[in-house]
A and B are shown apart, each in its own frame.
Chain A
């Protein structure tokens, strides 16, 4: 222990007034030594009292028993677990295939493949073919969700993403046979 400290006791420092510690405290003789020993033991007892308090007060322990509590686990609605595309009961989504999310993504997590639909009037119209999402590249930054002009994607609260094969993490978010909801441009 180097002795070049110019330590000054300030008012904020709790107990144990004699600075520098028991071993290096100078002066005072035997009485001071006994005082240091007493204060030292007192400080240890103070800490142990706190430990003992929690040992006897089980209700104040707040440990969560994961994974046993899976059924009751409540994650906040904003929790960013993975990107999903909500579909309604008619198997319709709100994605126009504008690629705003693809451009917003920092990691090239999203790849949008578009196709051309023929409208009843006989015109060609750009539509979403496949919304490819690479979960393994995603950092959950939420930029794609913010960028989406039609709120077609959102963050889901799932978080147990372990799989045995990496390819399982590449997902196609639009369900097979789904189409864009009426009235969304």
Chain B
């Protein structure tokens, strides 16, 4: 346990950021040791939003536990649900219909865009620009409306179920997604005009929060955080699931290793997601949207692991089954936790004012870190 306030023997000051601080986007508590304006150490304190989700899942059946994972990384709710559904299917050894596979991938990519949109707005807001937040929400709202129409909810959908998807897509779905793609393409240039090209923004991002590829690997960073350091870690490419091996897209890599590189990865990743959706939206196969499964799901005795790429990085579900209707043990590997652990390394030696910019580029979702 560290001293949470006061001075160290060397004369450095210890200050607290959070747990109630608008820039941490949640109840993250950082204990920071500073020498003047220079950061010497950043220590994240967790536990403020711990809900013991893993333990809760042990008392729920294989159908029921999926909805809980929407409440972890609520911006990638679909993708979390997807990982759980895939893991259960792996245990049951059932093949899901190709229609369900394509719908799942489209939903995942829409979620990824929505998540990056929100991040982009929040990121600009962290740096003091308030307008971009509303620009981002304008496009994000369109995705939320699409989700609302097909899944019935805007954020915690619980749409992926073992065997496929819960409901068939809404008749308007394809048209609305195409409309969204048109809208997105006409508006994406505004993002660059407003934020990316802005000199204040660039000066605050370039060269800030340096994370070397070696550090990114040793801290277990994944997703845009690792890709910004040039580390190839896209699960969709490395361990393809569903139809990701049949669609054309590039893994976005930047070699800048700084905040700006991580920023650019997310912006470019949105374009890749659009590319994936464009390939699939007209080619949704006909057929069932759900495979026939038993009313009560029982996984055989054994251990099952499934990883997926969420908007923040690698999300893993590990299920230990004793052969019953509920899991014996569940472990979630959340991307945010590993990415946060690299913050100390990134922040050392930089100024206190840059900390918020660094945290912003990590795209932290606290309920995901603190399950």
Contact = CB atoms under 8 A, between A and B. Distances in A.
A44 B254 CA distance: 25
Interface in B198-236: 198-200, 202-203, 206-208, 210
Contacts of A78: 148-152, 167, 170
Interface stretch (A17-25, A115-123, A160-168, A169-177): A17-25
A8 B256 contact: yes
Given A43-B197, A43-B199, A50-B190, A143 B207 contact: no
A127 to B, nearest CB: 23
B167 A106 contact: no
Contacts of B125: none
B257 A143 contact: no
A152 interface: no
B167 A46 contact: no
A7 B199 CA distance: 16
A34 interface: no
A80 B167 CA distance: 13
B207 A24 contact: yes
Interface in A1-32: 1-8, 10, 12-16, 19-24
Interface residues of B, number: 50
B237 interface: no
Contacts of A6: 255-257
Given A3-B207, A15-B197, A141 B67 contact: yes
Nearest to B154: A79
Contact of B199 (A10, A39, A75): A39
B127 interface: no
B346 to A, nearest CB: 9
Contacts of B199: 16, 21-22, 39-41, 43-44
B206 A7 contact: yes
Interface in B117-164: 131, 138, 141, 148-153, 156, 158, 161
Contact of A21 (B60, B170, B193, B202): B202
A140 interface: yes
A105 B138 CA distance: 35
Given A22-B199, A78-B150, A2 B138 contact: no
A14 B192 contact: yes
Interface stretch (B107-115, B258-266, B305-313): B258-266
Contacts of A46: 193, 197-198
Nearest to B353: A1
A8 B255 contact: yes
B354 interface: yes
B349 interface: yes
B185 interface: no
B207 A79 contact: no
A112 interface: no
Which of B151, B206, B208: most chain A CB closer than 10 A? B206
B158 A142 contact: yes
B351 to A, nearest CB: 7
B203 A5 contact: no
B257 A1 contact: no
A158 to B, nearest CB: 13
A100 to B, nearest CB: 8
B258 to A, nearest CB: 5
Nearest to A80: B152
Contacts of A146: 161, 166
A4 B68 CA distance: 42
Given A13-B264, A104-B64, A5 B207 contact: yes
B354 A76 contact: no
B298 interface: no
Given A14-B192, A21-B202, A2 B208 contact: yes
B208 A142 contact: no
A97 B192 CA distance: 58
Contacts of A85: none
A62 interface: yes
A183 interface: no
Which of B152, B192, B255, B261: most chain A CB closer than 10 A? B152
Interface in B322-355: 349-351, 354
A80 B256 CA distance: 44
Q: Which 7 A-B pairs have the closest CB atoms?
A: A21-B203, A5-B207, A40-B199, A106-B64, A78-B152, A141-B67, A80-B152
29 contacts: A1-B350, A2-B208, A2-B349, A5-B257, A6-B256, A7-B206, A7-B256, A7-B261, A8-B256, A13-B264, A14-B192, A14-B196, A16-B197, A16-B199, A20-B206, A21-B202, A22-B199, A23-B203, A47-B193, A47-B195, A50-B193, A62-B138, A76-B149, A78-B148, A80-B152, A139-B67, A139-B156, A141-B158, A142-B152
